Amino acid sequence: MESKIKVLFIAGELNPIAKVGGLADVIGTLPKSLARLNLDVRIVIPKYGIVDEKKYKLKKVAENIKVPFYNEFENINLFETPLPDTTIPVYLIDHLKYLGENGVYFEKDASSGGSNRECQRFTFFARSTLEIFNQLNWWPDIIHCHDWHVGIVPVLIKIRAKTKTEYKNINTLLTIHNLAYQGRYNANEVFKMLNLKQSDYPTLKEIYDENLIYLQQAILNADHLNTVSPTYAQEILTPEYGETLESSLQKRGGALAGILNGIDIDRFNPENDQEIIANYSYKDLSGKVRCKEDLQKTCGLKIDKKIPILGIVSRLTEQKGIDLIRGIADELMKENLQFILLGTGGEIHEKLAQEIVKIHPEKSYAKIAFDAHLAQQIYAGSDIFLMPSRFEPCGLGQMISMRYGTIPVVRATGGLKDTVQDYNPETEEGDGFVFENYDRNEFLAAVKRALALYQTPEKWYKVVRRIMQKDFSWENSAKKYLELYKKILNK
């Protein structure tokens, strides 16, 4: 009988135990689909202060494990809990000083790297993961590293393999969820933490402005790399999208793949979603009409099922094209439509969103907050979903919106290009409305094409029913990851 492939996910976030962004959703859902493919998949994260120990029933499985750090030894404890609704083990590394204070990040916008405290936290976490295998009597075939947080792990595995034979059989895979988030830290400080010298491993000489870039170290040292969509995998090899790391990625081009993310189709299901006022399916859309009226009521807008609603659920950042949305808003508001936005982000982009409502209060609504309930209302109650991203590694919003029969308008970049086929009025094929360049006029033209189709209900609802039947489940992605794991092990 063929033994199971053993895979350890190492990540800084995990839904629902410690969630900040979309990374957490991937770590919380992909392992479920991999386990159904008969893999022995496990997850390790830090035991943050925000982890609800009573809710997740943490069990201590090891204690006083020694971890060298700053030329001393720190003691960690190891806890275990199953990923909710599964038997997949989640390990949480417990160390109050470096891992236990605060939430996932110390600063509001530290997901891209942040302060020296972030550096200490994730460097200590990465170093600690190497010490748990003996305690568990379980050695992974593949360590699946996610984003910059654990970018130093492939380097540490290679250094450890020089003197410890059991580490020689561990392979590493890096998944790049967003190349803009890199983890740039002072190299000398990192060397002190890890008791390393610049000469200990060749890539440690890749230093820019005295900084060691964790994501770059993973790119140069992981056995294989992938991004979260095929198009983004090609885009990041260019200066336009490479975020200054394109030369490092080009060196590893032969080891780079693109695997599209999925969505949790059980959670995002209009047929049984408890967050919306009425359930519906592609066979019976009457519930969607009720959801639209409920959304209009919630947002204080005129209740009229004939008025198209343009919805946005997004982080409010430069990446997400908020400046383009503001740029076309005044022109758009001349049309008979309503505009609803939900999100938080940088102050300048929050102000851009609020300006639209200030100028057009009778036709628009914006909530600057994180509100999961309202998000579901927007996905279900809107007619058109806007995602004019400057770049988009994968994007989940467009897939969720299609699941709820809300037609997306997107820019042809990254995962948006891979998931949305532009509507062709002659053949009546397509999933949404796509524009090529990051340009307000092209974006406006795409939205107006959508509004024009909305005026022909028979054709509009044909598209709505079609997109609701698309398969964005994790099952397809998991099969591709399994193929990639086998490729790494057979190399």
Q: Is residue 1 part of a domain?
A: no
Beta bridge partners of 357: none
- The Cα–Cα gap between 160 and 130 comes to 9
Write down the pLDDT at residue 226: 98
Write down the pLDDT at residue 207: 87
CATH code for the domain in which residue 462 is found: 3.40.50.2000
- My answer on whether 378 and 326 are in the same domain is yes
- My answer on whether 351 and 226 are in the same domain is no
Write down the pLDDT at residue 263: 94
- My answer on whether 18 and 144 are in the same domain is yes
Q: Which domain range does residue 411 map to?
A: 286-471
Task: Indicate the pTM of the whole model.
Answer: 0.93
How many CA atoms does the CB half-sphere of 251 hold within 13 Å? 12
- My answer on whether 253 and 291 are in the same domain is no
Q: Is residue 76 part of a domain?
A: yes
- The Cα–Cα gap between 275 and 266 comes to 13
The token duo for 338 is 């309503």
- My answer on whether 247 and 298 are in the same domain is no
Give me the tens of pLDDT residue by residue for the chain, a chain 491 residues long. 568 999 999 999 999 999 988 899 999 999 999 999 999 999 999 999 999 998 999 999 999 999 999 999 999 999 999 999 999 999 999 999 999 988 898 876 566 666 889 999 999 999 999 999 999 999 999 999 999 999 999 999 999 999 999 999 999 999 999 999 999 999 999 999 999 999 999 999 888 889 999 999 999 999 999 999 999 999 999 999 999 999 999 999 899 999 999 999 999 999 999 999 999 999 999 999 999 999 999 999 999 999 999 999 998 988 999 999 999 999 999 999 999 999 998 899 999 999 999 999 999 999 999 899 999 999 999 999 999 999 999 999 999 999 999 999 999 999 999 999 999 999 999 999 999 999 999 999 999 999 999 999 999 999 999 999 999 999 999 999 999 999 999 98
Q: Is residue 275 part of a domain?
A: no
- My answer on whether 361 and 431 are in the same domain is yes
Q: Is residue 436 part of a domain?
A: yes
- 8 Å CB contact between 409 and 387: yes
Beta bridge partners of 67: 74
- The Cα–Cα gap between 373 and 37 comes to 32
- My answer on whether 482 and 347 are in the same domain is no
Q: Is residue 306 part of a domain?
A: yes
SS3 for 224? strand
Domains in the chain, number: 2
- My answer on whether 100 and 216 are in the same domain is yes
The contacts of residue 363 (CB under 8 Å, 6+ apart) are 301, 333, 337, 338, 339
- My answer on whether 243 and 391 are in the same domain is no
Backbone angles phi, psi at 280, to 5 degrees: -160, 170
- My answer on whether 452 and 467 are in the same domain is yes
Is residue 16 reached through a cis peptide bond, with omega within 30 degrees of 0 on the bond before it? Answer: yes
- My answer on whether 252 and 372 are in the same domain is no
Among left, alpha and beta (phi > 0; psi -120 to 50; other), residue 147 is left
- My answer on whether 484 and 463 are in the same domain is no
